[in-house]
Each structure stands twice: as C-alpha cells, then as structure tokens.
Structure 1
Amino acid sequence: MEEGEKTLERNKRPVRLVSAISALLVGLLFTTIIGSTSAYAAAAKDAFTPNSLGLEVQSAILIDADTGQVLYQVAQDEVRPPASMTKMMSEYIVLEEIQQKRIKWDDIVTVTKEAASTPADGSQIYLAEGDKHTVKDLYIAMAVGSANDATVALADHIGGGTEQGFVQKMNDTAKSLGLNSAHFTTATGLLDTTVISAADLAKFARLLLQKHPEFLDYSKIQSYKFRERDKEPMINWNWMLGSNKDVPSFKKFAYEGLDGMKTGYIGAAGYCFTGTAKRGDLRLISVVMGTSTKEARFYETAKLLDYGFNNFEKKTVVAPKTVVKDAETVKINKGVSKTAPIVTANDITFLVKKGAAPQISAPKVTLQTEDKLVAPIKQGQVVGTATYSYKDADTGETIEKKVDLISSENVDKGSWWRLMFRAIGTFFAGLFNGIVDLF
C-alpha cells in the first residue's frame, strides 16, 4: 500500500468510528423511545380497573332503568370527578323549577358577568354580559353543546344571582335523593373538586328519567342553531345517538335505541359518558368513567350495553290478578261478607339472565287491619301488599318488588239487622268459649 493510500486509510478510520458511534446512539435512542412508548402504553393500561368484559375504564356500571337492578359494575363506588356529566344535575334542577312553576321555558335570562367570563378552554356558546336568551335556548345549549357559559347563566338565574347559590341547591338536592357520594362545587363540572361515584350517577340518571322523561326530548337533539347569525349549529357531543346512523362522521358510533344522556371530560376525570338506550320494553343505563379518548368512552359504553341487551331478558314470575298463597282473603268490618277475596293488582317481573329460571322467595304479605277495612269495599280497592325477592346469582344482589293486593269483588255494607245478629252470635260464641275454658 502506497503512503498516500495509507494516509487515506488512516483518515477513514475516525470517520468510520464516528459513524459507528452515531449508529449506536441512534439505536439506543430508538430503543429508548420504543421502550418509553411501551412503558407509557403499559402504564395507561394499568390505570384501567381489571374486569371480565375487558372494559378500558377506571369505573363503570350498567343498570336496568325500570328497577335499578345492577347488571354489571367495575369499581362502581369509587368516587371520581364526573366532569360535564355534572350538568345532568343542573338540567334536573331546571326541570324541577319549571315543574314547580318557579320559572318558565320562555322566561328571559340576562347573562351575568360571571357567565360571560366562563373560561374559554371548554365548550361554550360565547355569551356576552347583558345578552338576553330564553331559559329553553340556554337549556338546549347546555344539553346539546354542553355549553359551560349557558349552564352558568341558568345557574345564576336560579341561584339568586350567583353560581354558588345554585351549587348549594345542587348539593341539597343530591342529599335529598340519597346520592351520598356526590359533592358539587360548580354547576358545570369544570373543577375536579366536584365528585360522585358511578353507582350514584346511574342511580341519579334513573331518577332523572323517572321524574322528568322530557329530559330525553332535549338530550337526543342532534344539532341546534343557538342564534340566527351563527354560521354553524352546535353539534351534540353524544356521538352514540341512534339517529346518527345516517350521519357519515358519526355513523360508526351510532347505537340502536340510544337517546341520551351526557358526556364529560377534564384532565382529572378522563373521558366519561352516561348513556341510556331502549330496545323493546327494556331500557338500560350505563356509566363509564376514566376512559382514554373521546372515542373510547363510546366504544366502552357499547360493550356494556351489548352485554345487557344480549344477556338479559324480562321474566314475569307473578301474573296480574294472581291469588297469593296463604293470603287468599282479607277480613272486612261491617260487610255483608266477613272477608273479601284478594289478588295481585299487576304482575311481578324481574330482569334475569337469558335461559335462567329465577328462584323467587315466598312473598312477604302485609294486610290492612280489619278496623281500617270497613264496608263498603270496592272491587280493585287496595287492601295490602306482597313483596317478592329475587337474588341475582352473579352479583349476589337481592332485588325486591312490591305489588298491591286488591279486592277482587265488591263487598257491600251489611244491613243493621244482619250486623245486629252477627254481633249477638259473636257475643254468645265468645261466652261459650269462655265457659269451656273454665273446665
């Protein structure tokens, strides 16, 4: 090898060394990135609560809207921030105020400085101080667009001019409804100091639908143009609405029969959703809390609802007008007859696993006393109750259902003559028994 070539070879060695070191560093960096990503993914997966359905949630629950029966749960009693699902309580209070005639849908609300100053980092309808809008328009903005400023405007209107006045009403309402885990600090749910469990959220959602079924008329609105000058309408954050089946961007999320209720997100809560769907005569309510993305909250909800609709059915265990064993009659005072035949007023139905034969306990019967059942007694008159119990083999939960017991016949009041002879007969029967007891 000539000197020049040797010099060139010597000059190449450092270059090769640098290249080798660079390649090694790139490899280490790539490995670190991949490792970090894997570790992050593993950490995210570890944050989810293990469960048999493979739900990627921190807590969840599925219940029957009719009875409140729990069909599935994951850490249901864990207290967490509900984010904008808080607005369900705000919506409930507005509906209560309207029902009690303290406000009306067409009342004009003047937007306060507090409402107009709502932080811009969340959903809003961009209200300005002094703007005037109807209760109904603001309610729809809250229900459909999850507008924080519209929520605060309504809270100020109902709460004596301040959001905190309304928050006190929220907490008082939660207490009266038995939502023991609930603590509200805002009307919107923007602060992570507002907390509630999935179990109490589902319980509340059921109460809301029972007392104010009109809630669904608003929660299922797909879009709403708040002001005539607005370029675009607000779009419902609930992408799972069954009516979205024909909307290209939401088609993959649309769920048959789903018509409510409320989404939510803040950093401390993750992505959340309280949903409800009805198929046939079965309505279910689900809550998922702490999912990882906007889309995930709907995918996990679909898993829960599918589990409910695919695995449970209603079974009637007692038909209407059934005679209850050992409670076939009830004593009547001053009637043509001394007793009246009684039957169940309606059926008793439980939600059970498909194909299962529910084991129902003997009913607990409570009958009104004779002194309260004074003739005449009308057919269909309530004379007592029977309570049936069913124990879910999977959850261990005992579900009770109470049915009224009614008279199946009219019992007229006895004539004076009849009642007199009955009293005489009762007197001598008592006297005879008293004499027999002496011997």
Structure 2
Amino acid sequence: MEVENVTHNVTKWLSLLLATMVMVTTITVQPLSVQAADPVDIEGESAILVDYETGKILYAKNPDMALPPASMTKIMTEYLVHEAIEEGQISWDTTTEISDYAYSISADASSSGVGLKQDEDYTVKQLYDAMAINSDNATTIALAELVAGSEGEFVKMMNDKAEEMGMTDTEFVNSTGLANASLGENVPEGTDPDANNLMSARSSALLAYHLINDYPGALDVTEIPSAEFEGEPITNWNWMLDHDEEEASSLQQFYYEGVDGLKTGHTDLAKYCFTGTAERDNNRLISVVMKTESMEARFEETAKLLDYGFDEFETQEIFPAGYQLEDEATIPVSKGKEDTVAVATKEAFSTPVKGDQADSYSITYQLDEEKLNGDGELAAPIEKGEKVGTAEIVYDGDGDYGFITPNGGNGSIDLVAQDTVEKNNWFMLTLGAIGSFFGNLFNTVVDTVKGWF
C-alpha cells in the first residue's frame, strides 16, 4: 500500500513537473514566433516611402490598395501639361478662354478658389500655377480641355500614360480628383457618372517619380508656399513648406526641412492624403500617405516616414565598378585566341542601407544565352567592354520591399568583358578541329578495347 502511494505521488509530481516545463517552454518560445513590428507606425490606410535615386522602397503599408487619391490626381495633369509643352503642342504663354464647365466649377466656392472669369484669356502658366499651388479644380479642367479638346479625351490620355508608366491599381475618370457624382451634366464622356479616380500609394509614388525625373522644373512651382492670382493671394495646401509669413505662422509647426512638393488631396471619400517629397544632402525621398483622418495627420504621418528614411538609411556603395565573383571571374571562350575572358560589373551598385544590411547583399551572374554555345562558352570574337550578361543583385535580409519602377530599378548591373578576345584564324581552327576529331577517335578506340576485356 505504501509502495502504491509512493508510486502515485511520484507519478503526480512528475506530471506536475512536466506540465510546468511545457508552460515554461511555451512562454519562452512563443515570442520568437511573433512577427517583428513595423519599423515605423503609420496611421493611415496606405503608405509608401521611396528613395528617389535608386527607386528602392524603404517602407510600405498596403501599397497596392486602390483608393481615391482626391487632388493627388492633379500630379498626372501636371505631367501631361509638361509633356504637351515639351512636344510643342502648347507653351507657357499659350492663352485660353474658360468654358462653361470650368466656369461653373470656379463659381462653386466649395470646389475651386481663384474665381475665373469668362471674359478673359488666361495663360497656361497662370492656370498651371493655380492648379499646382492652390489645387484649383477649375484651372485644372481648363488645362485638360486645352491639351486634349475635352476632359473626356484628356482622361483617355491620363489612363494611357498611367499604363505606359506601369501604374497598376489605377483608373482615372476625371482630371481633378473630384467625385464624378459632383460634376452633374459635366461628367467626362466615356466615364461612369458615379465613379471616382482610383490610385494606389505605389502608383502615386511612381507617378511622382516620373514627374520629378522627367520634369524637375515642376518642383520650382510646388515649393512655392503662397502666390497671387490676378492680384488675389493663394496659399499652398502643403503645410510642410516654409510658410514664414506672419499670417501663416500657425502652419510652421508642420514645416519640414527639405520638403519642396508635391500634392495634397481631400474629399469625403478619400479623406486626407498627401504625396510628398523632400531632399537633404543630395538625397531625395518620395512619400505617400492615403486616407488619414485629418489635415494635420497627413503631414504628421509624412514626417514620420521622412524621419525614418533620412535617419535610418545611408546610401552605400555595396559593389564597386569592376566587381568580380571569385569563382566566376572568367568565362570560357570558344574559337578564340584565348580560352577564357575576364568579366566584371560595368558600374558600381549603391543602395540605401539600414544598419548592417550591406552584408545581406550578393551577386549572381546571368549570362546572355544568345552569346553562348551549347557548352556554355562565349563565342569569339569578344570586344573589351562588350555586355555578356547581367549581374543580378540579391538581397537576403529583412524588410525587402523591392523597387518602385516596374523593371526592378537598379536590381541588376551590366556584366562586361574586361579584355578583347580575337577569333582564331582558319588554320588554327582547322588544327583544333582535327585534334578534336582524333582525340574523340582515340577515346572511342580505347573504350572499345576496354569493352573487349
């Protein structure tokens, strides 16, 4: 009886000990399986942060969610106006009258602010500045009608350009970002009367990237905090600019050094959004926040993103020009005076790096298959500096969001020959062929004789 009690007690204590160990193990192991927290906490439906020089995405939150962009739509209108000027279709001094449609929008204080008149001609420069600085809707419509003949035709241009740029999750139904339902009988032809423009944070950043890259002069306007339109003051809705005038001193709390654009947006459906850009020490960032809860929040969240980019990342040269993989420094050559040729990267690879992320980058070679024979050899002749493939950049660390540009940004570098390899003359090629023939014949005879025994 005592033995049974002892056995029972031992079993009880062992069970209790085992249960305790399981609990401790669970408590110890559980935190390791929890996903790491985001590096920056952005309060908004969607957001993205991009390094302009490389196109590398530094942060993303629901970047492909299609949302109403409100007046951030006007970035595309700005782009197409610049393109029309570049192509000689219009100039900054071109004048235009105001249509009944544009005038009706301008007469509505809730949707426009500069008060256009129908008995005046306005220059493209006047209309563009009012659009880019004051986010004016009527001047935007006037520009769309001038460039394309009608807003409906302009919308087609917007969507075609979006597709050309690789802007996925995007659909434009008007030039301004207003809800089509608010346009009454002026809904652009070919669009749904109940539709809204849609654009993702990724596409908005890509659009901003193209505007800055193709038409950097656009920033000369978007950086203006206030101006005049026909003698009347207009103010930029971008509160992160240096509004240093006394009457705008209340906005200085949102000032962010280096911000010079780009476009705010607000409708009841879109809430408050902002595509921003800032440059410090020759390093430019592009940020997008969408569907924040207030005018103040869109700038506060943008500041978080920019702080994260400028404070946590440093652009470093990861691989220099002329970099070679140790075990693939040379490639075999066929029919050449040399049996191999050295290959190396044509250019250096630099990228924004956070902490010790540089150690997480490596390179793999992708040779041009059209330049190779069946044995994987490059065919002579080969010229020094000739591209023979690409060096693909591989990142094996945390937080890889890719690149903003559809083709992967600078995720690859040209791989080029370091020397010239001439093609062997016919005599040496003939000798090589003869040698190869007899070599193969000898091997065949040897194999046959071995088979006899």
| Alignment of 1:382 onto 2:392 | no
Which residue is 2:92 aligned to?
105
Determine which of 38, 45, 52 is the counterpart of 1:65: 52
1-structure distance, mates of 2:401, 2:155 = 37
Read off the aligned partner of 2:146 and give its amino acid letter. Answer: H
Alignment of 1:4-43 (within 5 A): none
1-structure distance, mates of 2:343, 2:365 = 15
Which residue is 2:239 aligned to?
239
2-structure distance, mates of 1:113, 1:396 = 47
C-alpha distance 335-110 of structure 1, shift in aligned 2 (>3 A): farther
| Mapped contact 1:125–1:147 kept (Cα < 8 A) | yes
1-structure distance, mates of 2:218, 2:435 = 63
Read off the aligned partner of 1:83 and give its amino acid letter. Answer: A
C-alpha distance 403-395 of structure 1, shift in aligned 2 (>3 A): closer
Which residue is 1:438 aligned to?
444
Which residue is 1:168 aligned to?
156
Range that drifts further, 87-96 or 336-345: 336-345
Which residue is 1:422 aligned to?
428
Q: Could you list the per-position Cα deviations for residues 81-102 of structure 1 after superposition, in whole angstroms to 9, with x for gaps in the alignment?
A: 1111010111111122223333
Range that drifts further, 269-278 or 111-120: 111-120
1:395 CA drift (Å): 5.0
Which residue is 1:26 aligned to?
none
Q: Could you list the per-position Cα deviations for residues 342-398 of structure 1 after superposition, in whole angstroms to 9, with x for gaps in the alignment?
A: 321111123232244431244132246169976572x44433221111144135759
1:185 CA drift (Å): 1.4
| Alignment of 1:95 onto 2:78 | no
1:283 CA drift (Å): 2.0
Which residue is 1:349 aligned to?
350
Alignment of 1:322-361 (within 5 A): 322-329=323-330, 337=338, 339-361=340-362
C-alpha distance 291-348 of structure 1, shift in aligned 2 (>3 A): same
1-structure distance, mates of 2:335, 2:444 = 31
C-alpha distance 96-396 of structure 1, shift in aligned 2 (>3 A): closer
Unaligned runs of 5+ in 1: 1-49
1:432 CA drift (Å): 2.2
The percent of aligned pairs where both chains have the same amino acid is 37
Relative contact order, higher structure (CA 8 A, sep 6+): 2
Alignment of 1:2-401 (within 5 A): 53-118=40-105, 119-160=108-149, 162-191=150-179, 193-227=196-230, 230-232=231-233, 234-241=234-241, 243-244=242-243, 248-329=249-330, 337=338, 339-367=340-368, 369=371, 375=381, 377=383, 379-394=384-399, 401=411
1:331 CA drift (Å): 6.3
Q: Secondary structure at the match of 2:118?
A: coil
Q: Could you list the per-position Cα deviations for residues 3-41 of structure 1 after superposition, in whole angstroms to 9, with x for gaps in the alignment?
A: xxxxxxxxxxxxxxxxxxxxxxxxxxxxxxxxxxxxxxx
- Count of aligned residue pairs for this structure pair: 380
Alignment of 1:406-417 (within 5 A): 406-409=416-419, 411=420
Q: Secondary structure at the match of 2:253?
A: coil
2-structure distance, mates of 1:82, 1:180 = 14
1-structure distance, mates of 2:274, 2:99 = 29
Unaligned runs of 5+ in 2: 1-36, 180-194, 446-453
C-alpha distance 397-225 of structure 1, shift in aligned 2 (>3 A): closer
Read off the aligned partner of 2:434 and give its amino acid letter. Answer: F
1:403 CA drift (Å): 0.6
C-alpha distance 214-178 of structure 1, shift in aligned 2 (>3 A): same
1:127 CA drift (Å): 1.7
1:196 CA drift (Å): 1.5
Q: Could you list the per-position Cα deviations for residues 124-162 of structure 1 after superposition, in whole angstroms to 9, with x for gaps in the alignment?
A: 3222235322222222221111111111011001122x1
Q: Secondary structure at the match of 2:311?
A: helix
| Mapped contact 1:364–1:388 kept (Cα < 8 A) | no
1:268 CA drift (Å): 1.3
Q: Secondary structure at the match of 1:287?
A: strand
Let me know the Cα RMSD of the aligned residues.
2.9
Which residue is 2:412 aligned to?
402
C-alpha distance 364-337 of structure 1, shift in aligned 2 (>3 A): closer
Q: Could you list the per-position Cα deviations for residues 295-352 of structure 1 after superposition, in whole angstroms to 9, with x for gaps in the alignment?
A: 2211111111112222222232211121234443456788765654332111112323
Q: Could you list the per-position Cα deviations for residues 199-218 of structure 1 after superposition, in whole angstroms to 9, with x for gaps in the alignment?
A: 22123222332333332222
| Mapped contact 2:58–2:401 kept (Cα < 8 A) | no
| Mapped contact 1:352–1:358 kept (Cα < 8 A) | no
C-alpha distance 78-384 of structure 1, shift in aligned 2 (>3 A): closer
1-structure distance, mates of 2:431, 2:266 = 77
1-structure distance, mates of 2:268, 2:250 = 25
